[in-house]
């Protein structure tokens, strides 16, 4: 594993920079720290066998996403006593160029919704991980997942529409009784 890590360190560093690109300025995790934490998670999977390079980077990207989500969850608890803020469709439309400076609640909401999306369409959920969390372009996502760019665009459209519907339902709140 150490030999593999040395060979792919530069690519992992680039992946970590993509993940951190849309984080707030002054994030407490650096790209190097994120790579190192992801390495510890991936290396601890002693039975893991990767079929190809894309699968390895997918596992590493998922580990980075989980690290950032856990970091956001911890920071939200510390800063706001766990109170969540509203997330809007506009904040996820830009796929990396997100509106709010402090995105902790947004990251947690999208991460939570990703499980439901995976049940509806696993490919769309994986594309969302690449586009939203890793900041990949359609082309980079297609390469990482071994798909065509057209397929990635279609999955990303589906994911954004599904997420928009879910966010809209959450933001409307429960239906008033007796109406």
In a domain, 32, yes or no: yes
Residue 177 inside a domain? The answer is: no
Residue 119 lies in a domain: yes
For 16-43, give one letter per residue: b (16+ CB within 10 A) or e.
bbbbbebbeeebebebeebbbbbbebbe
Q: Which domain holds residue 19?
A: 2-172
User: What's the CA gap between 63 and 65, in Å, rounded?
Assistant: 5
* Structure confidence by residue, pLDDT tens digits, 56-111: 777 888 888 888 888 877 766 655 554 455 555 455 554 444 334 456 677 778 88
Predicted confidence (pLDDT) per residue in 144-164, tens digit: 888 999 999 999 999 999 998
59 domain residue, yes or no: yes
DSSP 47-107: T---SSHHHHHHHHHHHHHHHHHHHHHHHHHHHHTT------HHHHHTTT--S-S--HHHH
Q: Is 178 inside any structural domain? A: no
Domain count, the chain: 1
Alpha-carbon distance 107 to 128, whole Å?
12
pTM of the model: 0.55
The gap between the terminal CA atoms of the chain, to the nearest Å, is 61
Tell me if 117 sits within 8 A of 125, measured CB to CB: yes
């Amino acid at each position: 594993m150490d030999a593999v890590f040395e060979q792919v360190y530069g690519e992992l560093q680039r992946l970590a920079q993509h993940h951190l690109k849309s984080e707030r300025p002054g994030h407490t995790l650096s790209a190097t720290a994120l790579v190192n934490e992801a390495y510890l998670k991936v290396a601890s999977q002693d039975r893991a066998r990767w079929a190809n390079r894309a699968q390895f980077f997918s596992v590493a990207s998922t580990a980075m996403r989980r690290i950032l989500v856990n970091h956001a969850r911890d920071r939200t608890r510390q800063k706001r006593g766990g109170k969540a803020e509203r997330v809007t469709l506009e904040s996820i439309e830009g796929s990396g160029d997100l509106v709010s400076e402090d995105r902790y609640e947004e990251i947690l909401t999208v991460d939570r919704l990703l499980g439901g999306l995976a049940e509806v369409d696993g490919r769309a959920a994986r594309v969302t991980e690449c586009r939203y969390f890793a900041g990949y372009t359609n082309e980079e996502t297609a390469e990482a997942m071994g798909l065509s760019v057209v397929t990635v665009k279609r999955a990303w459209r589906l994911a954004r529409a599904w997420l928009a519907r879910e966010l809209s339902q959450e933001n409307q709140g429960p239906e008033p009784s007796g109406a």
